Amino acid sequence: MRLLLLSNSTNAGEEFLKYPLKQINEFLGQKSLNIIFIPFAAVTISFDDYEHIVKERFNDIGHNLTSIHKLSSMTDAVKNADAIVIGGGNTFQLLKLLQTNNLLIPIKEKILNGAPYIGWSAGANVACPTICTTNDMPIVEPQSLKSINLIPFQINPHYIDFVPSGHGGETRNQRITEYLIANQDKTVVGLWEGTMLRQTNNKLELIGEKKGRIFTYNNAYYDVGEQDDINFLISKS
């Protein structure tokens, strides 16, 4: 498999998809690809507007991108695509529409057959076995929380351990701990903004100036960086 899973699309104060564009370009290669974009996570902007801003950025690096919502057969669109891109937004809406349109299995089959996959935020969440470690509110109800299941671990995008002064609610670490108490055999990777995971066949790498944070049940969390071997994450059963 070839996966590029980003914590976020855009760093604060930067243009859309500016920080990861070099890595996206290298990941996709020099050949011009026909990319299917899935905008289903968009809530506050239309699918048309989402396609427009993503299409511009991918055109900049020589690739043609079309949003799946404009095509008569979504299943055929996935089967015929050179690559799949899923954008961020609300993970619950994204998963619900993937399920409603019967796209989970076709997307997984396409990726298992070698097509590159890029997802940011919610698009990274749906690469996990479930969307249980998203940060989003369940504004709609999907059929289940089970997702595409391209990787055997969970991602928490936009990870942060900052606690505002006077804040009395649960921290991100406490929320992840709750998940692990209920799902003791799972691993969660917290991805700070500006970081991403790249999988090429059986090699998994963390990319970015910041580190990733590894959480497992009943163990202290620890951080990993670009130079660390994290292949154990994809070898876990």
Q: Three-state SS for 215? A: strand
How many whole angstroms separate alpha carbon 205 and alpha carbon 136? 26
How many whole angstroms separate alpha carbon 86 and alpha carbon 24? 13
150: Cα separation from own chain's centroid: 10
The pLDDT of residue 15: 95
For domain 2-152+195-201+229-235, is the CATH number 3.40.50.880? yes
For the question of residue 167 being annotated catalytic, the response is no
What kind and span of H or E run contains 56? helix 47-60
Q: Are 195 and 206 in contact (CB under 8 A)?
A: yes
Q: For the segment 8-63, what is each residue's pLDDT rounded down to a tens digit?
A: 999 999 999 999 999 999 999 999 999 999 999 999 999 999 999 999 999 999 99
Options 121, 165, 185, 223, the catalytic residue = 121
Options 63, 69, 136, 147, the catalytic residue = 136
The pLDDT of residue 169: 85
Q: For the segment 149-198, what is each residue's pLDDT rounded down to a tens digit?
A: 999 999 999 999 988 788 888 899 999 999 999 999 999 999 999 999 99
For the question of residue 121 being annotated catalytic, the response is yes
The pLDDT of residue 94: 98
Q: What is the pTM of this model?
A: 0.96
The pLDDT of residue 237: 44
How many whole angstroms separate alpha carbon 133 and alpha carbon 189? 9
For the question of residue 229 being annotated catalytic, the response is no
Q: Which pair of structure tokens corresponds to residue 49?
A: 């507007």
Q: Which pair of structure tokens corresponds to residue 25?
A: 């370009």
Could you tell me the residue ranges of all domains in the chain? 2-152+195-201+229-235
